[in-house]
Amino acid sequence: MGTADADDVSVGGGRPDEDSDHLVALYRRGDRLVGAATLDEPRKIMKYRRFIAERGLRSAAETAVPV
């Protein structure tokens, strides 16, 4: 959801190199959340989609939807 063209990427909910059922990656450009990717987290991706569409701050998205 959004774009992967970002200054920073944070990964939570499991590590990509480990056997994990859940994964969340948040893409930031400046202070803005510009993209998100999830694995087995459909509710979270819909919430992140709203933050991306509203050009919301990444810190606000992480507070509202813990990684």
State pLDDT tens for residues 6-29: 888 888 875 555 566 778 888 888
Tell me how far apart the alpha carbons of residues 45 and 36 are, in angstroms, rounded to a whole number.
7
Tell me how far apart the alpha carbons of residues 65 and 47 are, in angstroms, rounded to a whole number.
7
pLDDT value at residue 45: 87
pLDDT value at residue 17: 57
Q: CA triplet 60, 43, 16: central angle to 5 degrees?
A: 80
pLDDT value at residue 65: 67
Contact 38, 44 (CB under 8 A): yes
Question: DSSP assignment of 10-28, as one string?
Answer: EEESS-TTS--S-EEEEEE
Question: What value does the mean pLDDT of the chain take?
Answer: 77
